[in-house]
């Protein structure tokens, strides 16, 4: 189907895709990240869950509130309105669905509403979240803008939450460098929240993407902000917290990244600033790596990000079977070039006396190899690091 | 012997201590930290090395320059002048010699010249080095003064190098809080270098101590500053770098602390400040823990510092025989109270799945015990943590 403007609309009811339509319907009724519904969908299908909900036959306690929302759900109408507004729907398995989002289990998004032209997977493949406080200081805003511009300059997409303060500076910094940026919203992707960002969002949608789990017209809630943070962490190769109070949305995003095994980074600041206190807590607890510029961010996401290159479904990663220490060592071996044992010991914290034995075992299985510079990836290690076919990214920078 | 003022002078020639006199003589001739001389002294005695030097019979290449200085050496005169100026000498084994200085091997100090009343071991037992750039920013100077005052308030001695900038603010902060401070100089302890600190040094000597390896009257050199940094690290339970350029004296002090197994801490600052860049390098390389106030500093030196409680010579620490992981776990168990397995896993980085097994082994040997709060030190662990008899410190805070 094409709209009057001749624009291709991938997600339309007449694809005959009952599952897709059910996900659109569910997204109008079910809160993002609902684990009960997520479990049912994983066990059967969105279509079956939607039918059960319509038949008031959903075998889950505590979803009574969703029944009340059923009258609002009209997936055909939602998709038509969205298409007219240049908004499309992506569901898992679609061309353009980021494999990186497959790590959520029962908290997997049912779908994503997407406003803007570029492919979401292409845009987020080399992406970093730059997040932080709304009540940012001049220092934080300056650093966020510079960092985002430098990341964009180096070909990385800046993902943030579209809020005032750090988020806005990050988006604007990337746009100013003629780079890509993605805003992940806790409301409909057609809703300007905060209202003062209507122009910013229009610009982001023109040159990047606005995405979210909520259907058009929905407004944000505190709960939706927290689930939105999960999507920011999920879409990116790592999260940089620029400024944050100790308890903050940015700290929440960092926790999501940690849970997903993505690197968390924090920008230090004056110890006299409460807006840097959250960053220092992340550094002190060793949750976050200390980063002071874009090159350092890329060093972190380029290295570890390559290790997290999406594992296709049904394809069990043999690295998962390695014991923790050998796996840690393997993950510290750079994607390109080689690394001395000393550096590996420092990177991994593994006792240098044990390290050589571990490397020997990894070598005999083909994970790593020796060269003149120390240890590099072996045949098996390289195969596992190679991005999936058709992936536009070169992996670690 | 007592001086005319009736002051006791511990280190005088008429103690008949030939070894002490030889060390005084050598300190006038030999540069601090000279490993060649240090090795000879360790193998024989200072007296023998001094005799060989006098007889031009020293079997070491490259010490010809020291022969040229022989005419300057007059240990009797040096000691008399020093005593008249309220300066005493401490040699290894003396009452008041800090056991903490015994980790240097061939770079052990021959002696220390000490100006001021308090006992050096008592004053430095609970001490932290607060060091940093001479060309400090207002931010760094503010943080150094606050940190030092808070450390002093909590009963910790602030040790620094008496330089302009961070060092001076640290000394002054401790003095302002009516606390103790020790300046470690790269020149004679009677020499005001920099000259602008003559009044500061007089105040430090009145209420704390000025110490150094160089005999009275000696002036500093670049080389002596580096060796002085080794003494700052050696005298303290840990080193805090407040502000530092990437290559700096403070970074050198931090490396010494690292080599001695003492914790290194760094205060973060704006990433836009080159004076914080050295701190961020220490944080990024995981050389330093991130600290933002005195309580966090004490948490670090209180915990690990207790583990480094001086091991008396000839007394082999059975912890040395533990494999690295159990030893790491044991060292993370707090000196007082207890700790959950979760926290131990976080502190040590040991895989939680292995941690309980390791704790079980440590328990069966008496190193650790269980209580309602988790894991605490067992009988053997407590015995090993207890400070030596006569030590005035309570150990970890």
All residues of chain B having their beta carbon less than 8 Å from the beta carbon of residue A354 are 324
- Residue A284 · residue B268 · CB < 8 Å: no
Judged by a CB distance cut-off of 8 A, whether residue A268 touches chain B is yes
Per the CB < 8 A criterion, the answer to whether A9 and A3 are in contact is yes
Question: Cα distance from B42 to chain A (closest Cα, Å)?
Answer: 29
Q: What mean pLDDT comes out for the span A368-393?
A: 65
* Predicted local confidence at residue A128, as pLDDT: 98
CB of B192 closer than 8 Å to CB of B212: no
Structure confidence at residue B98 (pLDDT) = 96
A184 has a pLDDT exceeding 60: yes
Between B239 and A10, residue with greater pLDDT: B239
Tokens of A128: 């970093």
A104-119 as b/e: b if 16+ CB within 10 A: beebbbbbbbbbbebb
**Segments of chain A assigned to CATH 3.40.50.450:** 120-307
Question: Could you name the CATH architecture of A120-307?
Answer: 3-Layer(aba) Sandwich (3.40)
Give the best residue of A145, A292, A294, A325 to mutate against chain B (max B CB count within 10 A): A292
Looking at CA atoms only, how far is residue A127 from chain B in angstroms? 22
CB-side exposure of A42: number of CA atoms within 13 Å?
A: 15
Cβ of A272 within 8 Å of Cβ of B324? The answer is no
pLDDT tens figures, A72-98: 899 999 999 999 999 999 999 999 999
* Range of lowest pLDDT (A51-55, A371-375, B6-10): B6-10
Give the model confidence (pLDDT) of A109-139 as tens digits. Answer: 999 999 999 999 999 999 999 999 999 999 9
So what's the pLDDT on residue B64? 67
- Comparing A210 with A339, which gets the higher pLDDT? A210
Burial of B199 (0-12, 13-18, 19+ CB in 10 A): exposed
Say how many C-beta atoms besides its own lie within 10 A of residue B384's C-beta: 17
Asked if A284 reaches chain B (Cβ–Cβ under 8 Å), the answer is yes
DSSP string over B327-362: HHHHHHS-SSS-B-HHHHHHHH---HHHHHHHHHHH
Kindly report the nearest CA distance between residue B364 and chain A, in angstroms.
24
The residues of chain B that CATH labels 1.10.10.10 are 318-385
* pLDDT score, position A172: 98
Distance in angstroms (rounded) separating the CA atoms of residues A363 and A378:
7
The answer on pLDDT for A15 being more than 80 is no
Who has greater pLDDT, B277 or A335? B277
Across B191-195, B228-232, B377-381, least confident range = B377-381
* A286 interfaces chain B, CB cutoff of 8 Å: yes
Name A159's bridge partners. A129, A182
Cβ–Cβ below 8 Å for B268 and A291: no
Q: Which of B130, B284, B352, B357 to mutate to test the interface with A (most CBs of A within 10 A)?
A: B284
Task: Check pLDDT > 50 for residue B370.
Answer: yes
How much is the CA Rg of chain A, to the nearest whole Å?
22
For the record, the structure tokens of A341 come out as: 């044992």
Q: Give yes or no for residue A367 having a pLDDT over 70.
A: yes
Among A271, A293, A351, select the one facing B292 at the smallest CB separation. Answer: A271
Asked if A290 lies within 8 A of B277 by C-beta distance, the reply is no
Percent of chain A with pLDDT over 90: 63
What is the structure's pLDDT at A313?
35
- Inter-chain contact A324–B291, Cβ cutoff 8 Å? no
Q: Do the chains contact at B291 and A284, CB–CB below 8 Å? A: yes
pLDDT confidence of residue A59: 67
CATH fold of the domain at B318-385: Arc Repressor Mutant, subunit A (1.10.10)
Q: Which chain A positions have a beta carbon within 8 Å of B290's beta carbon? A: 268, 280, 283-284, 290
- Helix, strand, coil fractions of chain A, as percent rounded to 5: 50, 10, 40
In the block, tokens 């209580």 appear at B371
Task: Measure A275 CA to nearest chain B CA, in Å.
Answer: 12
Chain A residues whose beta carbon lies within 8 Å of the beta carbon of residue B270? 139, 268-270
* pLDDT value for A88: 97
When pLDDT is averaged across residues A282-306 and rounded to a whole number, the result is 87
CB B93 within 8 A of CB B102: no
Q: Tell me which DSSP letter residue B182 carries.
A: E
DSSP state of A8: B
């Amino acid at each position: 189907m094409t709209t009057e403007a001749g624009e291709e609309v991938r997600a339309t009811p007449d694809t005959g895709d009952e599952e897709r339509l059910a996900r659109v319907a569910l997204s109008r009724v079910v809160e993002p990240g609902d684990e009960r519904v997520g479990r049912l969908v994983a066990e059967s299908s969105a279509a079956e869950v939607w039918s059960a909900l319509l038949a008031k036959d959903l075998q889950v306690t505590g979803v009574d509130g969703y029944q009340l929302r059923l009258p609002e759900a009209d997936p055909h109408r939602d998709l038509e309105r969205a298409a007219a507004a240049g908004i499309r729907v992506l569901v898992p398995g679609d061309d353009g669905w980021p494999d990186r989002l497959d790590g959520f289990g029962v908290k997997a998004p049912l779908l994503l509403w997407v406003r803007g032209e570029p492919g979401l997977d292409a845009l987020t493949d080399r992406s970093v979240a730059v997040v932080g406080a709304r009540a940012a200081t001049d220092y934080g805003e300056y650093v966020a803008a510079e960092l985002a511009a430098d990341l964009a300059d180096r070909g990385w997409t800046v993902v943030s939450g579209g809020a005032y303060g750090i988020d806005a500076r990050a988006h604007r910094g990337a746009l100013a460098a003629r780079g890509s940026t993605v805003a992940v919203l806790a409301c409909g992707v057609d809703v300007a929240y905060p209202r003062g960002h209507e122009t910013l969002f229009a610009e982001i949608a023109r040159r990047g993407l606005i995405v979210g789990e909520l259907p058009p017209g929905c407004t944000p809630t505190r709960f939706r902000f927290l689930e939105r943070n999960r999507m920011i962490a999920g879409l990116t190769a790592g999260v940089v917290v620029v400024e944050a109070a100790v308890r903050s949305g940015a700290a929440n995003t960092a926790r999501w990244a940690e849970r997903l095994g993505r690197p968390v980074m924090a920008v230090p600041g004056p110890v006299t600033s409460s807006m840097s206190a959250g960053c220092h807590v992340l550094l002190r607890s060793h949750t976050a790596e200390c980063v002071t510029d874009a090159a350092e961010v890329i060093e972190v996401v380029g290295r570890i990000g390559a290790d997290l290159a999406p594992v296709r479904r049904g394809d069990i990663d043999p690295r998962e079977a390695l014991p923790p220490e050998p796996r840690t060592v393997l993950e510290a071996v750079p994607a390109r070039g080689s690394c001395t044992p000393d550096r590996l010991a420092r990177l991994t914290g593994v006792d240098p006396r044990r390290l050589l034995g571990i490397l020997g075992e990894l070598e005999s299985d083909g994970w790593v190899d020796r060269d003149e510079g120390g240890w590099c990836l072996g045949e098996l290690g390289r195969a596992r690091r190679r991005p999936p076919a058709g992936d536009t990214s070169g992996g670690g920078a």
